[in-house]
Amino acid sequence: MSATRAPRTPLEIITANTRPQPAIPAVLVLLLCGLFAGSAMQGGSASFAAWALTAGLLASCGLAIAAGFCSLFPTLVWIGLAWLLFGTAGEVLALHSRVALFAGTLAAACMTGLQIWRVKTGRFVPTITEAPSAPGDQA
């Protein structure tokens, strides 16, 4: 059985608070939204693709925020990827997609601030799994 402990060194604290694994679902949904982007920009604001893009942006941001309760990485990567994928095409996106992008960015930034506050005040303490000891190493 693996024992866990709180991080001790500055490097352990940084790596324990920026784990990338919780971000996987949010990133996958955001990348799937990128597939809708081309047809969403061509079809107008009433098209299915435009509404699917809006729903996907909101869903992926929700996943990033939920994952943000255990790591800073999901919300930060969501902001970066969302603006990389959709920020340059902001004028072409439907109004509801632009609102979802800006609202998602604001919500993810607030979650990042909240998680930093939780870590600083000790309300959230990540754990590090100790390496299992060899059978003959027990004292």
Per-residue confidence (pLDDT) for residue 135, from 0 to 100: 65
Per-residue confidence (pLDDT) for residue 80, from 0 to 100: 95
Structure-model confidence comparison of residues 30 and 36, the more confident one: 30
Does residue 25 fall inside a structural domain? yes
Does residue 2 fall inside a structural domain? no
Does residue 3 fall inside a structural domain? no
Angle at 14 between CA 8 and CA 17, to 5 degrees: 100
In this prediction the pTM is 0.83
- pLDDT tier, 121 (very low <50, low <70, confident <90, very high otherwise): very high
- Which whole number is the average pLDDT over 134-139? 58
* Residue-range definition of the domain harbouring residue 122: 10-129
Does residue 136 fall inside a structural domain? no
Contact yes or no for 120/112 (Cβ under 8 A): no
Per-residue confidence (pLDDT) for residue 77, from 0 to 100: 96
Per-residue confidence (pLDDT) for residue 1, from 0 to 100: 59
User: Which of 8, 28, 2, 21 has the alpha carbon at shortest distance from 133?
Assistant: 2
**Which string of DSSP letters, residue by residue, matches 74-104?**
HHHHHHHHHIIIIITTTTTS-HHHHHHHHHH
98, two tokens: 């632009």
Does residue 139 fall inside a structural domain? no
* Separation of alpha carbons 96 and 103, rounded Å: 10
Per-residue confidence (pLDDT) for residue 3, from 0 to 100: 84
Summarised one tens digit per residue, pLDDT across range 81-108 is 998 988 776 677 888 888 999 999 999 9
Q: Would the pLDDT of 7 be above 90?
A: no
Does residue 4 fall inside a structural domain? no
Q: CA dihedral in degrees (120, 122, 124, 127; nearest 10)?
A: 100
Does residue 137 fall inside a structural domain? no
Does residue 5 fall inside a structural domain? no
Q: What are phi and psi of 9, to 5 degrees?
A: -90, 160
* Separation of alpha carbons 76 and 82, rounded Å: 10
- Which whole number is the average pLDDT over 125-134? 78
Q: What is the mean pLDDT of the chain?
A: 86
In the chain, the number of structural domains is 1
